[in-house]
């Protein structure tokens, strides 16, 4: 009886959890501004928010990206709330979107003169 209990306890400890094996969500962004592309990654847990911002100044122009994202898991898929801003010499793009996306999928947000590709890794 004691051996059976020990074997059962070891089996429970050695088995992976029934929940998602990776509670960390990795969200990848690609900003396609026409002439150039910029890539960013944010790691989140469920019901959390993160952000990334970058300002690049060259003699020709200044470019600033700001991306805020919040994640909520729902039935195996992930709901992302995204606020995206792109500012450069001749354009200002602001986009607020909400999407449901599965791991391994990508979606594209069209800002007119620039696009934001979102991937859940």
Would you kindly state where each structural domain of the chain is located, as residue ranges?
A: 20-120
Indicate the DSSP class of residue 8: H
| Tokens 């020990």 found at | 6
pLDDT at 18: 47
Question: Average pLDDT in the 3-14 region?
Answer: 46
Whether the pLDDT of residue 6 is over 70: the answer is no
Q: Can you give the pTM of this predicted structure? A: 0.78
């Amino acid at each position: 009886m004691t051996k059976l209990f020990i074997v059962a306890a070891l089996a429970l400890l050695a088995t992976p959890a029934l929940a998602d094996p990776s509670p960390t969500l990795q969200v990848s962004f690609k900003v396609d501004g026409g002439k150039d592309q910029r890539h960013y990654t944010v790691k989140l847990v469920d019901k959390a928010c993160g952000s990334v911002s970058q300002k690049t100044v060259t003699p020709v122009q200044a470019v600033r990206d700001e991306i805020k994202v919040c994640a909520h898991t729902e039935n195996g898929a992930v709901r992302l709330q995204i606020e995206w801003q792109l500012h450069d010499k001749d354009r200002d793009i602001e986009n607020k979107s909400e999407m449901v996306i599965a791991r391994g999928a990508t979606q594209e947000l069209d800002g007119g003169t620039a696009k934001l590709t979102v991937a859940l890794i």
